[in-house]
Amino acid sequence: MEKLLNEISTCCQPAYDISCDINIEINIPSNLQRCSSLHFPNITESDLLRHFTNLSRNNYALSTTFYPLGSCTMKHNPLISEQVARHYRFNQIHPYQDELTIQGNLEIMYKLEQDLCAISGMDYFTLQPAAGAHGELTGLLIIAKYFETIKQKRTTVIIPDSAHGTNPSSAMLAGFNVITLDSTHDGQINIDKLKQLLNENVAAIMLTVPNTLGVFEKNILTITELAHNNGTIMYYDGANLNAIVGIIKPGDLGFDIMHINLHKTFAAPHGGGGPGSGPVGVKKFLEPFLPIPRIINNKTHFVFNYEKHQSIGKIKAFFGNFPVILKSYVYIKLLGAEGLINSTKQAVLNANYMLAKLRDNIDVPGGHKCLHEFVLSLKSILKNGVKTVDVAKRLLDYGYYAPTIYFPLIVEESIMMEPTETESKQTLDKFIEIFKIIIFKEMLDESDKIKCAPHTTIVRRLDEVIAARNPVLRW
């Protein structure tokens, strides 16, 4: 295990230095000065380089291994996007430069908004939100503002129990009460229950399509119709958009508003937990409420428009996570219509192929067909005290990152696999072979080996209970 920075600190010359070509007394009044001593480490550039390089090697990453983390769409991130995003003409731009000096950035944002409209069937997009959950909140605030404007008091949002945790927590933050809708045994929306819950108080229904079991919502058109007849807005959580790009548009299914995770479907890398970008798209009637500023094309050039009196306001300082936006712009330009459509097909093919190789021996609550990902329930095959988490940890020993486990909450001992389109058949075959060895062989013969996995990682199984009970959160 790599030492901590404070442990490698010496009294050497630190890595960076600064000079000043101006000689001036700075004279800070003593009551405003820092009196405490600053405990920063002193480490040379070469030692720091080793430290952080070694740390990086303690990560499994998409660039080192198969990363079938369901719901996260860990597809290959084209390298050219990185190169472009590092270009100084994009990087060294201040957000408050005159519009005429940022036409390149504005053009990219404007065109990405248009491409996202074409892909989603929405009429307008904002690129301001910084991640999916931030997009959800933006969308819900737009919905709240809409009802306020048409003078209807609607206070609840319906969210299925299969939804991601950010959905209910965003709804709460937007000031709504959440009604949880129980799914049917195969993860679909229960239409009868939905009918019972729908009343004049329901502002929106938030759905993930395909749902978090990776299955298309078979009654989706009925659902959107029911909602619209009730004056309720349909919200689309775009985390699973990778399943349908170029095949069908959420807008055509009757969704009124949605967010997209650029760091999933549109190949911006996730950075170990962000930065992301969560653009929000709306149908025309919700456009007045989008965050300001809007970018408009006034024929000769692009300009900001702050004059939108019904807007929810700003949801983030400045305009959005531009480098992430740029990477997705590049991605769409690289692939084009054919590439995007083919990617969707291959993503769905890969997932179904994996599922086909596993479905005969393992419970699949969503059924034997899926879209871009699928969820298995290991409950009925777990033996000798092995749990799903143990299986996940054992996969690490074979060099794979583990699929998502224990989500969605509606499936017991769930394991959710999303191969994405950029994995080869060989990779999938090898992974399935190993997965089967673990659950059908090792679980019977060597269950202890699974239960105390991983064995080959930089650290062995870590104790999360101690960590939470006795938090040590800094050196």
Partner 1 sequence: MDYTSKNKTEQNDMLKTIGINCIKDLFVNIPRNLVLNKLNICHGNTEQEILTHLHNVAKKNKILISFRGAGIYDHYIPALVKEIVNRSEFRTSYTPYQAEASQGTLQAIFEYQSLICALTDLDVSNASLYDGATAVVEAILMSIRYKKTKKILISEALNPEYIKVIITYFKHLEVDLIFLETTNGIIDNNTLLNKLDDNTTAVVIQSPNYFGLIENMKSLCYWTKKFNSLFIAVVNPLSLGVFCTPGEYNADIAVGENQGLGSPMSFGGTTCGFIVTKKSLAWRLPGRIVGQTKDIKGERGFVLTMQSREQHIRRVNATSNICTNASLNALASCVFLSGWGSKGFKKLAEVNIAKAKYTFKQIKSLNGFSSKFGDQTFFNEFVIKTTKDINKINKILLYNNILGPLNLSNANANAKLKNCMLFCVTEQRTKSEIDSLIEILKTI
Ligand X SMILES: Cc1ncc(COP(=O)(O)O)c(C=O)c1O
Dist CA 444 CA 22 (whole Å): 73
Q: How many residues bind ligand X (CB under 6 A)?
A: 14
Q: How many CA atoms lie within 13 A of 92 on its CB side?
A: 3
Site string for ligand X, 144-173 (x = CB under 6 A): --------------------x-x-------
Which range in 52-60, 92-100, 126-134, 220-228 contacts ligand X by CB under 6 A?
A: 126-134
Contact of residue 373 among ligand X, partner 1, none (CB under 5-8 Å per partner type)? none
Which range in 20-28, 125-133, 325-333, 392-400 contacts ligand X by CB under 6 A?
A: 125-133
* Dihedral angle of Cα 249, 250, 256, 257, to the nearest 10 degrees: -110
Q: Residue written as tokens 């991983």? A: 454
Dist CA 259 CA 104 (whole Å): 24
Interacting residues with partner 1 between 257 and 316 (CB under 8 A): 261, 263, 269-276, 291, 312-316
Q: For partner 1, which residue of 66, 112, 113, 132 counts as binding (CB under 8 A)?
A: 132
User: In the complex, what is the shortest distance from the CB of residue 132 to ligand X, in angstroms, rounded to a whole number?
Assistant: 2
Please check whether residue 312 is in contact with residue 289, taking contact to mean a CB–CB distance below 8 angstroms.
Answer: yes
Q: For ligand X, which residue of 119, 140, 174, 239 counts as binding (CB under 6 A)?
A: 239
Please check whether residue 259 is in contact with residue 278, taking contact to mean a CB–CB distance below 8 angstroms.
Answer: yes
Site string for ligand X, 258-277 (x = CB under 6 A): ---x--------------x-
Please check whether residue 212 is in contact with residue 186, taking contact to mean a CB–CB distance below 8 angstroms.
Answer: no
Q: Which is nearer to partner 1, 89 or 185 (CB)?
A: 89
CA distances, 269 to each of 22, 129, 272, 382 (Å): 41, 17, 9, 34
Q: For ligand X, which residue of 214, 278, 365, 419 counts as binding (CB under 6 A)?
A: 278
For the chain, the maximum distance between any two Cα atoms, rounded to a whole number of angstroms, is 78
Interacting residues with partner 1 between 421 and 460 (CB under 8 A): 421-425, 452, 454, 457-460
Dist CA 137 CA 22 (whole Å): 47
Amino acid at 315: I
Interacting residues with partner 1 between 359 and 378 (CB under 8 A): 369, 371
Q: How many residues bind partner 1 (CB under 8 A)?
A: 197
Contacts of 221 (CB under 8 A, 6+ apart): 253, 254
Interacting residues with ligand X between 60 and 79 (CB under 6 A): 71-72
Site string for ligand X, 172-211 (x = CB under 6 A): ------------------------------------x---
Residue 452 — φ and ψ, nearest 5°? Answer: -110, 20
Interaction between residue 414 and ligand X (CB under 6 A): no
Q: Which is nearer to ligand X, 207 or 312 (CB)?
A: 207
Q: Which is nearer to partner 1, 55 or 437 (CB)?
A: 55
* Dihedral angle of Cα 282, 288, 292, 294, to the nearest 10 degrees: 70
User: What is the contact surface with ligand X in residues (CB under 6 A)?
Assistant: 71-72, 131-133, 164, 166, 208, 212, 237, 239, 261, 276, 278
